[in-house]
Amino acid sequence: MPPVPHPGSSRAPIPCATLWMLAAVAILATIPTAAQESARDTGFVSTGKLPRIESDPYIGRPTVSLEPTWTDKESESQLELSLKYGAPFKHRDWSWQLSVPVEHVDSTGKQVNGLSDVSFQLNHALSWVHWRQAVSLKLTANSASDPSLGDGQWEIEPSYTVGAWLTPHVSAGMLLSWAYGFDVDSGRSRKDVITPRTIVSFHFRGRRDFTLDLRPRFDLTRNEFYSTLMLMMSAPLGAHMGGQAGFEFPLSQLAAKRVENSRIYIDFSYGL
């Protein structure tokens, strides 16, 4: 676990993590792709003959994913390893995904390990010519083994997605989600966040994609607004496997030239 710098330090707090991110992107960019044109259907894909659009949550075949995520904050760092399994229902326009995360938190010298909050997501997708639409419902349970490993609440998050191909090599999508968290015992709202995401993907030869994901968030509970930008690279890793690497950071840090409160993740998906 990289050391968390003192809050007053002017040095970029996660240079090692940034190097890991660049290395992961370089690996994905140089993977051989001969005879792998059909590998796209190992992850989140569209139905029918439409190619993949990044904002589409539909899962076209049984898929196992392993997703390590590292988050740096001002007073703590988090390392989360999520095991995900998703599959379509018999009716091919419906799919589901179960996510079981294990988390390590290092906060001011105190380290905690254990199960985080488990989530279940239901997806329904529709397609018309060059357009894709989908609705999703995600339920997150208050299942963390330690209070510091979860949000301490139940959460429900409906979302609506629309995506289209702008050119043969560029796709764009919009995703509107509403995350509402509540305490089961008191029924009080503890989270109320609306996120209208804008996603633009550039598709290159060999099924490699580069994606820009703008994520503004309206926190109605705290009356706050903030936004982050996710940069993501994805590529096939074999006949049945795909990989992604992403780096998310607050846009306010572009001017400050700092990378605190940032998130790095790598995803490996295997189609069964």
> Are 38 and 97 contacting, i.e. CB atoms less than 8 angstroms apart?
no
Give bridge partners of residue 268 from the DSSP assignment: 66, 243
Residue 82: what pLDDT?
94
Number of H helices and E strands in the chain, helices first, is 2, 13
pLDDT digits (tens, 9 = 90+) for 161-206: 998 888 888 989 999 999 999 887 766 778 899 999 999 999 888 7
Please indicate, yes or no, if residue 53 is contained in any of the structural domains.
yes
- Res 11: pLDDT: 37
Please list, residue by residue across 234-264, b when 16 or more beta carbons sit within 10 angstroms of its beta carbon and e when fewer do: bbbbeebbbbbbbbbbbeebeeeebbbbbbb
> Is 4 among the domain residues?
no
Structural domains counted in the chain = 1
Residue whose C-alpha is closest to residue 4's, from 70, 75, 71? 75
Domain annotation covers residue 138 = yes
Backbone φ and ψ of 184, nearest 5°: -65, -40
Residue 237 or residue 73, greater confidence? 237
Strand partners, 196: 176
The CATH number covering residue 206 comes to 2.40.160.40
* Residue at 252 is within a domain: yes
Rounded CA separation 90/230 (Å):
33
Segment holding 189, helix H or strand E: strand 189-204
CA 271 to each of CA 17, 44, 109, 154, 208: distance values in angstroms, whole numbers, following the listed order:
28, 10, 40, 30, 17
Cβ atoms within 10 A of the Cβ of 161, count? 24
Number of C-alpha atoms within 13 angstroms, CB side, residue 266?
Answer: 15
Choice among 10-19, 121-130, 158-167, 178-187 with the minimum mean pLDDT: 10-19
Helix residue ranges per DSSP H, the chain:
15-29, 253-256
The whole-angstrom separation of Cα 245 and Cα 242 is 11
When pLDDT is cut at 50, 70 and 90, the band that residue 143 belongs to is: very high
Q: Give, as one character, the DSSP assignment of residue 144.
A: -
10 within some domain: no
| 8 within a domain of the structure (yes/no) | no
Residue 6 lies in a domain: no
Residue 3, domain member (yes or no)? no
Name the residue range of residue 266's domain: 15-271
End-to-end CA distance of the chain: 32
118 vs 55, higher pLDDT: 118
- The whole-number pLDDT of residue 25 equals 46
- Distance between CA atoms of residues 230 and 213, nearest Å: 5
CA distance 54 to 45: 8
